[in-house]
Chain A
């Protein structure tokens, strides 16, 4: 098991509250870019940048529907990120088991 998985894009994407809010919105339903941007006080251009970061992490996928760009949540990378934390937990647990074995060795 490694300390760090190749999840940098996902974790970077999740590090920002605006992007988390976009994900939460898309968790409810697919939406147009303009709908996603509507609740935010920042510019559409700025929201678009956030969406591109989410797309790069493959957390959001875009499809054309007529003249509109529809956005959809792709949850798979979230599972990968969650798995990563589980791996960290397992690795530390394994290390403490190793310590336990060492402490039970007969004193030399």
Chain B
């Protein structure tokens, strides 16, 4: 099945800032730690970024309800200021990685950013068939099957 599009989470946002400034915010640890894997109630207690293809990042968000939550992944593409792709996993919650793609295009004085969080490329699949990515791939098609069957 070709499920990629429907299993993705896609969010767009327009910024008044130039593409370069928005792009750099994702790789500048002082800025990134304030938003990238932040949660409303959490406190980012540690963040490290190795901003090169093949480099990794770790962000640890301290949450009142579940303690310290590690977010980690690897940079797959760094094409300033257009495109940034990295894997993203939270080992505490699920094995495997999803992929986050940031696309930025100029829009007047500012830019429009599209963030897509979808499943892992084959190169990063670890053979664990119960991995999160495989699971997510199956999610929305089933929902659509049910809708197509006229239940909803």
Q: How many A-B residue pairs have CB under 8 A?
A: 119
Q: Is the CB of B31 within 8 A of A15?
A: no
Binds B, one of A42-50, A62-70, A82-90: A82-90
Q: Which residue of A2, A100, A103 is within 8 Å of B93 (Cβ)?
A: A2
Q: Which residues from 69 to 88 on chain A have a C-beta closer than 8 Å to any C-beta of chain B? A: 73, 75, 78, 81-82, 85, 88
Shortest CB-to-CB span from B146 to chain A, Å, is 5
Q: Is the CB of A104 within 8 A of B16?
A: yes
Size range of the chain A interface in the assembly: 35 or more
Q: Is the CB of B137 within 8 A of A103?
A: no
Q: Which residues from 39 to 65 on chain B have a C-beta closer than 8 Å to any C-beta of chain A? A: 39-40
Q: Which residues from 81 to 108 on chain A have a C-beta closer than 8 Å to any C-beta of chain B? A: 81-82, 85, 88-89, 91-100, 102-104
Q: Is the CB of A103 within 8 A of B149?
A: no
Most chain-A Cβ atoms within 10 A of its Cβ — which of B9, B94, B148? Answer: B9
CB nearest neighbor in A for B135: A11
Shortest CB-to-CB span from A61 to chain B, Å, is 15
A-B contact pairs, 16 of them (CB 8 A): A2-B39, A2-B93, A11-B132, A15-B138, A23-B146, A24-B148, A27-B145, A27-B151, A82-B140, A92-B115, A94-B40, A96-B35, A99-B25, A99-B35, A102-B34, A103-B17
Inter-chain pairs besides A8-B94, A85-B9, A99-B13, 7 sampled, C-beta below 8 Å:
A1-B40, A14-B139, A19-B142, A73-B151, A96-B113, A99-B22, A103-B21
The 3 closest A-B pairs by CB, nearest first: A27-B151, A4-B93, A15-B138
